[in-house]
Amino acid sequence: MDKSKRQLLGQIAAISAGAAFLPVAQASTSKPKATSGKRYGMLIDLRRCVGCQACTVACTIENQPPLGQFRTTVNQYEVTQGQESAFMMLPRLCNHCENPPCIPVCPTGATFQRQDGIVVVDSHWCVGCGYCVQACPYDARFINHDTNTADKCTFCAHRLEAGLLPACVETCVGEARIIGDLNDPGSQISRMLAEHRDEIKVLKPSAETSPCVFYLGMTAAFEERIRGEAPVRSLMTATGEELHHGH
């Protein structure tokens, strides 16, 4: 689909959004979910993340987003408690939710969930309306400057299909990222989730999206206070109170 046609469809979709939401939402949410077979998820062990951004670089090389746009990145925070302070790294990416809010708002059905739970965007159907970008509570989506379509992390589905690890997982120097089948109790991710059950956290649990990106070693202060584009360093107390921002 050429750029002019996509822009035209985007205008039409915006005008007729009210009429399109109901049937498209029903069609989109009726796509098969990962109730059997593989269900991919990712565990990020923040105790191992050193903030080197190797994952960001590898993702950029593999998926070629436009300059200045990223499918994954690592935000850095300085957390203080009393007289002590420490840095915390927080890798960010699409959470490939069990209940993804980006799907029902898509007026063309371009965003959908695969059988293995990975949420993807069909760029041939996407008209760049941005509804999914606004709907994502994790600020994990963006409109690609080159294609004018929605873009995001796909867990490197093309690599998984070839028996390879996602680029970010393969290049993580601290082996902080673990991807695997959540439906397989013997997989490394399932075993770690079971072993550290009381310590596992997800971002914005109040959104009730059932995200499939899990964090180990994250304080509760960060669950609900995360923004999509945090500064390189954000000084916070252990309870999540922001003291100042800086680069």
pLDDT tens readout for residues 94-135:
999 999 999 999 999 999 999 999 999 999 999 999 999 999
Question: Over the chain, what is the mean pLDDT?
Answer: 81
Is 131 part of a structural domain of the chain?
no
What pLDDT score was predicted for residue 234?
Answer: 45
Helices 17-29 & 3-15 angle (0-180, nearest 10): 100
Is 9 part of a structural domain of the chain?
no
Is 11 part of a structural domain of the chain?
no
pLDDT tops 90 at residue 22: no
Is 193 part of a structural domain of the chain?
yes
pLDDT tops 80 at residue 178: yes
Is residue 101 within 8 Å of 209, Cβ to Cβ? Answer: yes
Is 63 part of a structural domain of the chain?
yes
Q: The pTM is what?
A: 0.77
What pLDDT score was predicted for residue 76?
Answer: 85
State the residue range of the domain holding 183: 40-99+155-220
Q: How many residues make up the chain in this entry?
A: 247
Domain count, the chain: 1
The domain that holds 66 is classified in CATH as 3.30.70.20
pLDDT tens readout for residues 126-168:
999 999 999 999 999 999 999 999 999 999 999 999 999 999 9
Give the CA-trace dihedral at 149, 152, 154, 156, to 10 degrees: 100
Is 84 part of a structural domain of the chain?
yes
Is 136 part of a structural domain of the chain?
no
What pLDDT score was predicted for residue 191?
Answer: 98
What pLDDT score was predicted for residue 226?
Answer: 57
Is 133 part of a structural domain of the chain?
no
